[in-house]
Amino acid sequence: MANINLQFKTNYAVSSKIEPFYKGGKVQISNDEKYIFCTCGSRVNVLEISTGKIIHCVEHDDQEDITSFSLSCDDELLVTASRALLLKQWDWRQAKCTRSWKAIHTVPVASMTFDSTSTLLATGGCDGTIKLWDVVKQYCTHNLKGSSGVVHLVQFHPDIKRLQLFSSSLDCGIRMWDLRSSQCVCVLQSHYSAVTSLSFSSDSSTMISSGRDKICTVWDLKTRKAKRTVPVYEAVEGVVVLPENTDLSQIGVRTKDLHFITAGSKGVLRVWEASTARCVYTQTLSSTSTSVSEEDEENNPLSLTYLFHLPTSSRLATVTAEHNILFYQLPELTTLQQFVGYNDEVLDVKFLGKGDTHIVVATNSCQLKVFELLTNSCQILYGHTDTVLTLDVFRKASLFASCAKDRSVHVWQMDDDSGRVRCVAQGSSHTNAVGSISCSRMKASFIVTGSQDCTLKVWDLPEELSATGTEIHQLRPRTTEKAHDKDINSISVSPNDKLLASGSQDRTAKLWSLSGDGNLGLLGVFRGHRRGIWAVCFSPIDQVLATSSADGTTKLWGLQDFSCLKTFEGHDASVLKVIFVSRGTQLLTSGSDGLVKLWTIKSNECVKTLDAHQDKVWGLHASRKDDKMVTGSADSNITVWEDVTEVELAEEQAKQEDQILKQQELSNLLHEKKYLKALGLAISLCQPHTVLTVIKAIRQREESHELLEKTVLKLRVDQKESLLRYCVVWNTNARNCHDAQAVLQVLLTHLPPEELLQYQGVRTHLEGLIPYTERHMERIGRLQQASMFLNYMWQKMRVAGATSLNPDEEMDTAPLTRTQPLFFFDKEKIKESNDERRGDDSDSGQDEDPDVEEDGVEVSATKKASTNRKTNGNQQLESEETSEEEDEDQGVRRQPPS
């Protein structure tokens, strides 16, 4: 191995993350058009449009899913509703709950909206009722009944002087409510399926409704009659009235009549003229995306679920069924930005662009995603028809190749100026899924693919791919070679383009010569792994090959004699990827245990373990400057890492040491029973669980109430404020509620209300305590009733062998003496039974073999997209004969008996 004097890498720090922020549900854009609010389980994430970063996140303490939310028109208030029937009002910029109250609805809230003054909030429930709330004076103003089923749409009339509210429920009618009289003044009947959205004209006299019955209706709000029904021939999810006095001729608006735009199941935007019901413009899909037939509309991944108009910036925003958010510029409807709310399993990821400004990602789908790291804006590339399995990038970083389960290979090129990516070449010749690909290293002259059909193919590329213009070049393989006995999981071209390495499920790696005539010549076989090989990689400076395997090891091999030079063991499960860094002196490996490990080759030592993923890390790639790396995992997260400096390492180490010292000091204080200092130190660590540990230690002492009271009341005001905040969290858990209530009793009985009201957020904290305290009291009441029943049963019981009790006498609960035996045993029968049992045990013990292990399973690279099971660590390596039998069995992995 070459000895190069280099600064070894010692650590990587997370530079940025691309993680799921939207998994379906409501989406809203702030009125200042700077932020996107969207639901993600129990959270509402706030995405900054300019940077694509999640800058705020609000979440209910009870971890209940958020069923609906609404942002006020002045962008100040955010109100959320959860399945626990609680409404919470947030200062979303600080991610602080400022108020919470019961929703009064008997079932979860399905929809909500603010009026234009940001003072009234309407909530539509699954119980068919609508509540109106005065968010300033904090009380319910209206309870509107009459809707049938779930109220999935509520919207105020834009002219607040009219005091009108529109709603829609399962009967498909649009109800108009007069808020002065709290009465439904009329029901607008036109739709035969769910009404999805409403939009008003600039003079507020005309309203357009859209529905899943494939029509839009134009309503005259003065006469409360339908002026026209417009058949749009698709289920419509969003409708927007286009602005007047604006030149929109590029999208077909050539008259002064009312026009509106629709978004629905076909996945395109269409402009309609209201007076004639004509479609005057249909958006043209990207040339790489495919049109959808009417039969596939319901499951169309491109279908649109929301449509927004951003008047200040003259933009439109849409949300797709695949959880992507797109921004278009009016009037030409050019795509400005696209954000991906949710990625499925990440199967591979590579840096892209001259300065590694982009990454290209394969995400268990037939589309590729290209992210700009600066803004997180994404391009979606269409071309493959089945799951894309892996990627590789040419030396010219704007050119890359992909292969998929559809048995094809595609070559893509990114324009250095615009950043747009298009397909420039494609080929299909394999007879099964293509699970591995490698590009030439010297120049973009060829690519090599390996398939589940056990063959290798070499594909020649045209000299100038860009010269083909918009034409897609059709590739033909120049040579095909039967290479392995099982699936080929990985291939790699050497830095000089003269050698090729392949790794297979058959547990071998092979070295091939890439001769000028196009033929592949076998040079040797690397044997030694006891499971299938997941990855192969050439050293950039030495004649060395690295391989990683499902047996949990990484090996280095000499290319001269095919001998194993080193073995690296440290992963608890399959090692899925291996790459060289630090000019070939170090290795990075990733495994199905979710870990990334950094190894120094010379010392055979793991110098750092990075734990940033919760599942298999399929993607691992280093930047060309070797200062960054990117990882992609089956947990749907993509992480960009940077090599940190020694100063940063020292700072991090100092913080960790400080935390360790404080924890040790806390332990000493508890041992010395200095509870006041211990509690103050625990609060300074900002760790509620540590503070709870101190409280529990105090309550375990004799005279715990007096000791707790004495300790808590001696705390500073800011410490009491933190303690009250922690009590709210503890009170949500039945196991910790007694400790929380004990602290609350001290605070509420000894502190004057004037002092408590000075605490920050005290109203929210106390309101949050009420519902959980009521639950705990109900549970205690049920336990008390149950204990009374048990006491009653105890009084009425008859014990075998005891004297009958007089009904008027109380039962004697004194222990029985030995002179009053209750049970009698036949000692001879017991002895015979024990002898028989010992005989049975001794016989059965001869048939057990504690050393027998059950079968394990391997999964090939072409099946990795559909496999989402954790691999158990610390598995013993079976013998060669056992492994051969197990490789034939592709069943479910079972664990050896414990």
**CB of 616 closer than 8 Å to CB of 865:** no
Domain that holds residue 709: 665-780
Whether residues 395 and 445 fall in one domain: yes
Closest CA to 523 of 564, 563, 557, 562: 562
Task: Judge whether 30 lies within some domain.
Answer: no
Let me know whether 641 and 730 are in one domain: no
Residue 760 CB neighbour total at 10 angstroms: 12
Of 44-48, 783-787, 832-836, which range is least confident?
832-836
Q: Which two tokens stand for residue 147?
A: 């809707």
Q: Give the residue-averaged pLDDT of 698-727.
A: 86
**What's the pLDDT at 519?**
80
Domain final position from 729, 746, 780: 780
Q: φ, ψ for residue 618 (rounded to 5)?
A: -80, -35
Q: Is the dihedral of CA 827, 833, 837, 839 positive or negative?
A: positive
User: Which of 315, 312, 359, 316 lies closest to 340 in space, CA to CA?
Assistant: 359
d(CA 541, CA 580): 10
Q: Is residue 860 part of a domain?
A: no
- Can you spell out the DSSP letters for 575-636? EEEEEEETTTTEEEEEETTSEEEEEETTTTEEEEEEE--SS-EEEEEE-TTSSEEEEEETTS
Same domain, 591 and 730: no
- CATH code: domain of residue 478: 2.130.10.10
The pLDDT of residue 750 is 87
Residues 368 and 463 occupy one common structural domain? yes
Question: 11 falls in which pLDDT band (50, 70, 90)?
Answer: confident
Token pair listed for 875: 């598995």
Same domain, 688 and 763: yes
Sign of CA dihedral 300, 301, 302, 304: positive
Question: Is residue 683 very low, low, confident or very high in pLDDT (cuts 50, 70, 90)?
Answer: confident
Q: Say if residue 700 is exposed, middle or buried (CB neighbours under 10 Å; 0-12, 13-18, 19+).
A: exposed
Residue 880 has pLDDT above 70, yes or no: no
Question: Which of 647, 678, 693 is the last residue before a domain boundary?
Answer: 647
User: Does a structural domain hold residue 487?
Assistant: yes
Q: What pLDDT, on a 0 to 100 scale, did the predictor assign at position 811?
A: 46
Confidence class for position 832, pLDDT limits 50, 70, 90? low
Burial 818-845 (b: 16+ CB within 10 A, else e): eeeeeeeeeeeeeeeeeeeeeeeeeeee
pLDDT at 61: 77
Q: Examine the domain organization and report whether 632 and 686 are in the same domain.
A: no
pTM: 0.70
Measure the CA–CA gap between 78 and 807, rounded to whole angstroms.
65
Query: Cα separation of 17 and 373, whole Å?
Result: 9
Residues 405 and 475 in one domain: yes
Task: Phi first, then psi: give them for residue 520, nearest 5 degrees.
Answer: -105, 125
Q: Take residue 261 and report the two structure tokens written for it.
A: 């735009």
pLDDT digits (tens, 9 = 90+) for 338-391: 999 988 899 999 999 888 999 999 998 899 999 999 988 999 998 999 999 999
Query: How many domains is the chain built from?
Result: 2
User: Cα 695 from chain centroid?
Assistant: 35
Question: What pLDDT score was predicted for residue 295?
Answer: 52
Number of Cβ atoms within 10 Å of the Cβ of 106: 11
207 HSE (CA, 13 A, CB side): 25
DSSP secondary structure of 28-43: EE-TTS-EEEEEETTE
Q: Are 572 and 437 members of one domain?
A: yes
Tell me if residue 425 falls in helix, strand or coil: strand
pLDDT (0 to 100) of residue 568: 95
For residue 648, the surrounding DSSP H or E stretch is: helix 646-671
Q: Tokens 């009491």 belong to which residue?
A: 720
| Inter-helix orientation angle 646-671/675-684, to 10° | 150
Lowest mean pLDDT among 261-265, 725-729, 861-865: 861-865
The reply to whether 563 and 697 lie within a common domain is no
Q: Are 462 and 444 in contact (CB under 8 A)?
A: no
- Cα 42 to chain centroid distance, Å, stands at 12
Beta-bridged to residue 246, according to DSSP, are: none
Q: Find out whether the peptide bond into 331 is cis, omega within 30 degrees of 0.
A: yes
Contact 273, 308 (CB under 8 A): no
**Rounded distance, CA 635 to CA 614, Å?**
6
Which of the 8 DSSP states describes residue 845? G
Q: Does 452 share its domain with 366?
A: yes
Last residue of a domain, one of 751, 780, 809: 780
- Rounded to whole angstroms, how far apart are CA atoms 121 and 134? 7
Residue 873 lies in a domain: no
At 59, the pLDDT band (50, 70, 90 cuts) reads: confident
Under DSSP, is residue 846 helix (H, G, I), strand (E, B) or coil? helix
DSSP string, 511-561: EEEE-TTS-EEEEEEEE--SS-EEEEEE-SSSSEEEEEETTSEEEEEETTT
Q: Is the dihedral of CA 646, 648, 651, 657 positive or negative?
A: negative
3-class secondary-structure state, position 232: coil
Q: Which residue has the higher pLDDT, 701 or 833?
A: 701
- Which amino acid is it at 167? S
**Which of 225, 234, 281, 232 has its CA nearest to residue 254?**
281
Q: What mean pLDDT comes out for the span 442-461?
A: 93
The residues near 710 (Cβ < 8 Å, ≥ 6 apart) are none
For residue 782, give both structure tokens. Answer: 């049920």
Residue located via tokens 């134009």 = 218
Determine the Cα–Cα distance for residues 150 and 564; give it in Å rounded to an integer.
67
What is the Cα–Cα distance from 227 to 215, expressed in whole angstroms?
A: 13
Please provide the average confidence, as pLDDT, over all residues in the chain. 84
Tell me, yes or no, whether 54 lies in a domain: no
| Residue positions counted in the chain | 898
pLDDT tens figures, 21-49: 998 899 999 999 999 999 988 899 999 99
- Residue 578, strand partner residues: 589
Amino acid identity for residue 659 in this structure: Q
pLDDT of residue 281: 94
Q: Do 579 and 595 contact (CB within 8 A), yes or no?
A: no
The full 3-state SS of 297-361, as one line of letters, equals HHHCCCCEEEEEEECCCCEEEEEECCCEEEEEECCCCEEEEEEECCCCCCCEEEEECCCCCEEEE
Question: What is the rounded average pLDDT of the residues 443-470?
Answer: 85
Would you say residue 12 lies in a domain?
Answer: no
Query: Which residues 6+ apart lie within 8 Å of 250 measured at CB?
Result: 331, 332, 333
Residue 597 and residue 687 share a domain: no
Q: Identify whether the C-beta of residue 368 lies closer than 8 Å to the C-beta of residue 348.
A: no
Rounded to whole angstroms, the Cα distance separating 663 from 667 reads: 6
Is the confidence at residue 565, as pLDDT, over 50? Answer: yes
Tell me the per-residue pLDDT of 107-158, one tens digit each, with 9 for 90 and over.
999 999 999 999 999 999 999 999 999 999 889 999 999 998 999 999 999 9
* Residue 554: inside a domain: yes
pLDDT for 779 equals 86
pLDDT higher than threshold 50 for residue 667 = yes
d(CA 316, CA 241): 12
Quick check: is 868 in a domain? no
CB 728: neighbour CB atoms within 10 A? Answer: 21
Residue 385: count other Cβ atoms within 10 Å of its Cβ.
12
* Residue pair 82/100 in contact by the 8 Å Cβ criterion: no
Q: Which residues contact 800 (CB under 8 A, 6 or more apart)?
A: 822
pLDDT-derived band at 216 (thresholds 50, 70, 90) equals very high
Same domain, 706 and 597: no
Cα separation of 704 and 230, whole Å? 74
Q: How confident is the model at residue 286 (pLDDT cuts 50, 70, 90)?
A: low
Q: Supply the Cα-derived Rg of the chain in whole angstroms.
A: 34
